[in-house]
Amino acid sequence: MNSIDLDKVSIPYHILSLIPAKTARALMVLPVSVENGLVTVCVKDKHNFRVINTLEQVTAMQVEAVEATEESVLKKAVFFNYPESFVDGTINQAPELFRYLLRQAIYVGASDIHICHEKDGCVIKTRVDGKMRSGRSFSKQAASELVSYIKVQAKMDISQKRVPLDGNIETELDGREISLRVATVPTINGEHVTLRLLTQNDNVTALDSLEGLGLGDLQFRLLKQSLSVANGVVIISGPTGSGKTTTLYAGLRELVKDGTRHVVSIEDPVEKPIDKVTQIKVDSEKERVSFHKALRSVLRHDPDVIMIGEIRDAETADIALKSALTGHLVLATLHTNSAPGILNRLVDLGAPDFLVASTLRLVIAQRLVRRPCSLCMEWEVLPQVILEKYGWSERSNVKVPKVNGCPHCAYTGYSGRTAIYEMLPVNSSVQQMLLESKSEVEIYNYLKGKAYNLTLRGDGLRKVLKGQTTLEEIESTTVNDNDAVFNLEGSSTG
């Protein structure tokens, strides 16, 4: 390692703590990694032995000095990782600590911040790319002040410590609006707080358009075609946090582009305002505005396109399908594991199979998988025995990404996520299978047999070969299709 690019680097706390904040800021140095008693420190000039000697004394370790690519970037990184309030060794001001945690979370693209109480202290954890990361620890006292501060900000009753509470915080940080959903729950060690960052990270804005979703050519055409028809139903399924809403929103943006259609969405909650879309918030808890009630009234407002946040009950399913019959395009989400499962789920909800067959245009299943960190990823050649497992045995020299770890990805080897999709167009063959009451497995086998890489697994493997995710991620998010044969040449869609 000769030089290092420190832009947007958040160093784990156990590494930062090797050098006191005061020293780091005075010498303008930043520890970036520790391995086998060797600490790598980013410095301005690696030939300045006075600085390196000091660092070896302070850390009591051998120091490997690397130079930052730019002095101004190093300065920014040092001040970011060691904020002013760290200089005296402790942060005792809750507002300062809160802003620090928020800034760190936004910097690394976290979706949630957790304040977790343990027996003798508290630890801050963040969820980044769907996985939890442990962060800095604090004393009980600091944690309790932080929790009280957050509760006041979220307009919660701070005297209530024995019941779960919900609230919201709207604040400003470094000139940008930040919106947080706050939830507390009493645990045996103290009040656990979860902060959900509702403000979108900069790195997901690319997903705002259909083009940015990372679809294969065939998938892209299927989705675009299904959205261009005047009536029909397109449904996306996937677990919570699989990016369904992002895909639906990208679809809505496409639909309002030319301004000729009235697009209405019914959501719980409205995740993000979209230009030119009439967004309605349902209140399912209080039963004042339920999905099906809202849907009924929406139909009286002359919509061309209706998006339904989630089909949860038979009544909503019924109105959704019948709206398609009367000339509307309906987009919705549903909870199932696979794309074919959507068809059977609708039938289970009481929709007649002929209605499902005649209104559904496209069913989609979606998952999010982590992307390998582009700065430390390497390619490795797969051994023959593994090639067979993925149906690549006819190929030799198949290379897939191998993750490592660096300061940029907080040593996880991953940075950011991408979506993988399963798409089943409801064509005449699928309609026929539905009318013959074929099972989800039979329809899935039909989809797999088509070998267009339209299953989650197939799409995932396609993305592995492109270096956009890893085999490990695909193994942990998709079902094992041992017998699936995905021909590399003939069937690749993108």
Q: Site residues (CB under 5 A) for Zn ion?
A: 373, 375-376, 406, 408-409
Please state, in angstroms and rounded to a whole number, the distance separating the CA atoms of residues 483 and 388.
10
- Residue with Cβ nearer Zn ion (375 or 485): 375
- Residue with Cβ nearer Zn ion (9 or 154): 9
- Residue with Cβ nearer Zn ion (12 or 238): 12
- Residue with Cβ nearer Zn ion (135 or 372): 372
Q: Report, in Å, the least distance between residue 413 CB and Zn ion.
A: 6
Which residues partner with 367 through β-bridges? 420
When computed from its CA atoms, the radius of gyration of the chain, rounded to whole angstroms, is: 26
Q: Report, in Å, the least distance between residue 415 CB and Zn ion.
A: 6
Which residues partner with 66 through β-bridges? 42
| Cβ contact 340:447 at 8 Å | yes
- Residue with Cβ nearer Zn ion (398 or 406): 406
Q: Report, in Å, the least distance between residue 10 CB and Zn ion.
A: 12
Residue nearest to Zn ion (CB): 373
Q: Report, in Å, the least distance between residue 380 CB and Zn ion.
A: 16
SS percent in the chain: helix, strand, coil, step 5: 40, 25, 35
Q: Report, in Å, the least distance between residue 407 CB and Zn ion.
A: 7
SS3 label, residue 300? helix
- Residue with Cβ nearer Zn ion (238 or 416): 416
- Residue with Cβ nearer Zn ion (40 or 245): 40
| Cβ contact 303:264 at 8 Å | yes
- Residue with Cβ nearer Zn ion (51 or 376): 376
Run of H or E residues at 353: helix 353-359
Q: 199: which 2 tokens?
A: 């403000």
Please state, in angstroms and rounded to a whole number, the distance separating the CA atoms of residues 340 and 117.
43
Q: Report, in Å, the least distance between residue 8 CB and Zn ion.
A: 12
Own/partner contacts of 207-211, CB < 8 Å, gap of 24 or more, are: 207/243, 207/246, 207/250, 208/249, 208/250, 208/253, 209/250, 209/253, 209/254, 210/250, 210/251, 210/253, 210/254
| Residue 307 Cα distances to 135, 252, 329, 338, 430, angstroms | 39, 8, 8, 20, 24
Q: Report, in Å, the least distance between residue 305 CB and Zn ion.
A: 41
Which residues partner with 67 through β-bridges? 3, 43
Please state, in angstroms and rounded to a whole number, the distance separating the CA atoms of residues 46 and 130.
37
- Residue with Cβ nearer Zn ion (5 or 64): 5
Among all chains, which residue has been given the structure tokens 């009234």? 297
Q: Report, in Å, the least distance between residue 473 CB and Zn ion.
A: 15
Q: Report, in Å, the least distance between residue 405 CB and Zn ion.
A: 6
Q: Report, in Å, the least distance between residue 220 CB and Zn ion.
A: 29
Residue type, 421: Y
Please state, in angstroms and rounded to a whole number, the distance separating the CA atoms of residues 221 and 311.
25
Q: 184: which 2 tokens?
A: 């507390």
| Residue 392 Cα distances to 231, 485, 490, 491, angstroms | 40, 8, 12, 12
- Residue with Cβ nearer Zn ion (121 or 405): 405
Q: Report, in Å, the least distance between residue 376 CB and Zn ion.
A: 3
- Residue with Cβ nearer Zn ion (23 or 201): 201
